[in-house]
Structures are given as structure tokens and as C-alpha cells.
């Protein structure tokens, strides 16, 4: 893949806006090209916000659940950080700030990013006070937010879903209906190219068009629950209530959300997440989809048989895969073996040397093109989506294979299909980190076997 240098005039025409705002005074809020803003329109003081450990003195369970999560690693996840630094190299500080507006919103809001000495505001990524200082969001995409369109409050109030939360010496507590809805998550889980408007990450709208949204199931009903609880919500299509305490010395409440925020990242130490969160991610992946085979009853040596693999999204309230789908890889590994165990057909194998998936595999992902009509994995270079093959919530896609049986092969034939997931292509990791230095985990989401006589 050839190295690409982004033309800044194309990528960031907002740079002139940044300069113009900056010259009006340091107290103004020059957050473009992201949609981040503050309630006052001014830069908040870093003293407006608490370190997560301070919150953890009262909210012990929530702090321990958050610590080691991908939210806590949002600005130090090795994959993200490599991309962010590459974006900074190719697009400058404005592009780096754009990325950081979701991954370390408080650091951008206070001016620590770009260029400041990192403190907890940067290091803790999506820390407690990011979400609980959100007063509102600006709806910029189909009723939801995009590109960090959160409005941060810099006062003493902390917002949340509890209508009877009690004030304390550290902060006041305010009920926020927004915190009970998926719209809160939409602000950072929808990504539009900042200048050409290309929709790159579309998780919120995938949910909004789904049966989950129609059933009143919000993002929080799955991603602020354990994997087992989320699977039960998907099975019954009914939100759960999980009793617990919001504070260490508080009363037992009928419903308290877990602060695990697990998704599909099962790479554990490679991205700095805890083993607990990695295991949660793996469990979620394994509960997200099912496979089924349609096979002929018999196969004649020398003839061609048709095999159908049906993939159903049973457990994700958004598409499979979701998020940055030009990187995500979900594919079918189909293998047919004869009576002696010899492989007579394979689609979806992973090359042991390069880590590449067989180019003829059925792959669920997106393909982006740059302005020279070449494939790119860099979202800031994208001008067009060439291909998008995803599995919507509660829907089934059917893939058909024509398999020629060798004249010398003898049945019965065993057919095995595996739905596999990887956070990014291994060849991209090799480019970013060096060959073999960042081996991504492959999680087998679902498996099915059958036999042809």
C-alpha cells in the first residue's frame, strides 16, 4: 500500500476558521473542525473536573468497572494512538484535535490538547467527568449527534439518570433524561468527515433503524450491562433492571448501570485494557451472531455442489461489524474435508506468514476510497465509500458457495463454517508497528458443522 499524503487544503478548510477564532481571544472556544462545545462558550478551567480516582472514593463499583475499560484507554489504546499520531503527521494539529475531541474531550475543551503537558484530562481518555458533565448534545445527524457534538458544563453539577440523586460536598447532582437515551452515545459514535461530510462511522443510525430502537432498547441497556445481561436483553428484546448501589454508602436502588462499556475489542494487553474487559468483549462477540448450513444430501466426485451459509445478527443492536468498518473484519472461514480428513475446499483461511485473510473470503466490512480512487484505511483521506457489506440487527444474510468435489475424493464430506472477527487487518498493523510486533487476536464468533454423504 503506497504512502499517502493528505492535501491540507482539501482536508481541513476549517484551519482558517481555527485561526480566526483563536485571534478573537484565548477565552473563546476554537474546537473546530469537531462539534465539541461548552455551555458557556468559554474554555473551562482544568480545575472544573475531577480525576477518576476522586470519583471512585464514593462510586467505588463504577470506578472499578470503568478502570481498564476501552473508555479509560480511549486516548492510549495502542491502535488508536498510532492512527492519531499518523493523522497528526499527515493532517496537522487541527486533525489531531478533531480525533481527540471524542477520545479525550476534556483535554481538548481545556486546551491541554493540542500541545499541552498531558495530565489526567488526556491520560484518562473518556473519564467520569466527560459523560457526567454533558449538559446536552447538538443534534447534527438524523436526530443524533456526531463528531463530538457534546455540550460540556463547567460548573459543579454532574448529570446522570437518577431523578433522586443526592448532592454531596464535591458536586451537585442533576437528573438528565439525555443520559437514559442513545442520543448521548451518538455524539461520539457517529463520525462524519469534517469537510466532505462522508459518513464513516454510523453506529447510532444503525441502532435507530433497528428493532431495538423500536422496542425502546437503548445503547446503555447493552453496553452498560455485562455480556450475559446484554445477551438476555437481545434474546427477550426487553430491557433489564439490575439492582445495586450508585455510591458505596448509598441505598440499594432497583436499577444501577454497570460502567464496563465493553464492545468488540478483545485485544487485552495490546491496547492496555484489562483481562476482565477483554473477556467481556469476547463474550459479546460470541453472543452476537449465529450460523446455519444448507447442504445437499450427497455429493458425486467430480461434480459441483452448492453450500449455503446463513449468518444472523442475533445479539447486536447495530450492524455487524460496526464503528470504523474500513478496519473491522468479520468473515466466514468455510472448509470442506473428505472422509480421510483431507481438505478439498477452503475459503477464508488466514495466511500464517502475513496474517492476511484469503482475498476470496466472504468479508463483512467497508471499503473507502481516497481522492485518487485508491483504497485507504485512513478515515481522514476518505472521499467515497466504495463498498459496505454489513449484517443489520436481527437480520440474516445468506452466502452461497459452489464447491467442486475432486474425482478422487470420497465421502462423507464434513463441512465446517466459522464466523471470525478481528479489529483490523493484520497487514495494517504490520505497517503501523512492524511485522509481527502487534498480532491481533481473532475471535471465533460462531461455528456450525454439517455433513454431505
Asked whether 215 and 238 are in contact (CB, 8 A), the reply is yes
With a threshold of 0.85, does the pTM exceed it? Answer: yes
- 296 burial via Cβ count (<10 Å: 0-12, 13-18, 19+): middle
Domain at 288-452: CATH code: 2.60.40.10
Average pLDDT across each block of 10 residues of the chain; the chain has 453 residues. List them in order. 33 35 38 93 93 96 96 95 95 95 97 93 96 94 90 94 89 95 96 94 96 98 98 98 94 96 92 93 98 95 94 98 96 96 96 93 97 96 96 98 92 96 95 91 98 94
Q: What residues have CB less than 8 Å from 247, skipping those under 6 apart?
A: 58, 59
Q: What pLDDT is stored for residue 26 in this prediction?
A: 33
> How many residues in total does the chain contain?
453
Q: How many whole angstroms separate alpha carbon 226 and alpha carbon 237?
A: 16
Q: What pLDDT is stored for residue 142 in this prediction?
A: 78
Q: What pLDDT is stored for residue 8 in this prediction?
A: 36
C-alpha distance from residue 100 to each of 88, 97, 298 (Å): 11, 5, 57
Q: What pLDDT is stored for residue 167 in this prediction?
A: 83
List the chain domain ranges.
11-236, 288-452
Q: What residues have CB less than 8 Å from 250, skipping those under 6 apart?
A: 166
Of 29, 53, 38, the residue nearest 120 (C-alpha): 53
Q: What pLDDT is stored for residue 15 in this prediction?
A: 35
Amino acid at each position: 500500500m503506497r504512502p499517502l499524503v493528505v492535501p491540507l487544503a482539501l482536508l481541513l478548510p476549517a484551519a482558517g476558521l481555527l485561526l480566526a477564532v483563536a485571534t478573537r481571544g484565548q477565552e473563546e472556544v476554537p474546537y473546530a473542525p469537531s462539534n465539541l462545545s461548552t455551555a458557556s462558550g468559554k474554555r473551562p478551567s482544568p480545575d472544573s473536573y475531577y480525576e477518576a480516582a476522586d470519583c471512585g472514593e464514593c462510586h467505588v463499583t463504577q470506578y472499578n468497572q470503568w478502570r481498564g475499560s476501552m473508555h479509560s484507554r480511549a486516548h492510549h489504546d495502542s491502535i488508536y494512538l498510532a492512527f492519531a499520531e499518523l493523522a497528526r503527521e499527515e493532517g496537522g494539529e487541527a486533525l489531531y484535535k478533531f480525533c481527540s475531541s471524542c477520545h479525550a474531550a476534556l483535554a481538548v475543551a481545556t486546551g491541554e490538547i493540542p500541545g499541552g503537558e498531558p495530565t489526567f484530562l488526556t491520560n484518562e481518555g473518556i473519564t467520569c467527568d466527560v459523560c457526567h458533565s454533558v449538559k446536552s448534545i447538538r443534534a447534527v445527524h438524523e436526530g443524533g449527534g456526531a463528531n463530538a457534538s457534546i455540550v460540556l458544563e463547567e460548573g459543579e453539577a454532574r448529570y446522570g439518570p437518577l431523578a433522586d440523586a443526592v448532592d454531596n460536598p464535591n458536586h451537585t447532582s442533576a437528573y438528565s433524561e439525555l443520559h437514559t437515551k442513545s442520543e448521548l452515545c451518538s455524539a461520539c459514535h457517529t463520525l462524519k468527515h469534517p469537510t466532505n461530510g462522508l459518513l464513516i462511522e454510523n453506529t447510532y443510525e444503525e441502532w435507530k433503524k433497528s428493532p431495538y430502537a423500536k422496542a425502546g432498547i437503548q445503547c446503555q441497556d447493552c453496553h452498560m450491562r455485562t455480556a450475559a445481561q446484554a445477551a438476555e436483553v437481545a434474546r427477550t428484546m426487553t430491557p433489564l433492571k439490575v439492582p445495586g448501589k450508585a455510591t458505596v454508602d448509598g441505598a440499594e436502588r432497583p436499577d444501577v448501570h454497570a460502567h464496563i462499556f465493553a464492545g468488540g475489542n478483545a485485544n487485552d494487553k495490546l491496547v492496555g485494557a484489562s483481562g476482565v474487559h477483554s473477556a467481556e468483549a469476547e463474550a459479546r462477540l460470541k453472543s452476537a451472531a449465529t450460523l446455519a448450513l444448507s447442504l445437499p444430501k450427497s455429493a458425486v466426485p467430480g461434480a459441483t455442489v452448492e453450500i449455503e451459509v446463513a449468518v444472523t445478527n442475533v445479539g447486536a443492536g447495530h450492524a455487524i461489524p460496526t464503528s470504523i468498518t474500513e478496519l473491522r473484519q468479520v468473515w466466514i472461514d468455510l472448509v470442506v474435508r473428505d472422509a480421510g480428513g483431507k481438505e478439498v475446499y477452503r475459503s477464508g483461511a488466514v495466511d500464517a506468514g502475513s496474517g492476511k485473510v484469503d482475498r476470496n473470503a466472504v468479508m463483512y466490512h467497508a471499503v473507502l476510497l481516497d481522492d485518487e480512487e485508491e483504497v485507504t484505511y485512513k478515515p481522514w483521506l476518505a472521499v467515497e465509500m466504495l463498498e459496505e457489506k454489513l449484517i443489520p440487527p436481527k437480520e440474516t444474510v445468506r452466502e452461497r458457495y459452489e464447491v467442486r468435489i475432486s474425482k478422487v475424493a470420497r465421502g462423507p464430506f464434513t463441512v465446517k463454517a466459522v464466523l471470525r472477527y478481528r479489529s483490523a487487518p493484520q497487514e495494517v498493523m504490520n505497517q503501523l508497528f512492524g511485522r509481527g510486533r502487534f498480532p491481533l487476536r481473532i475471535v471465533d464468533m460462531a461455528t456450525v458443522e454439517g455433513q454431505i454423504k
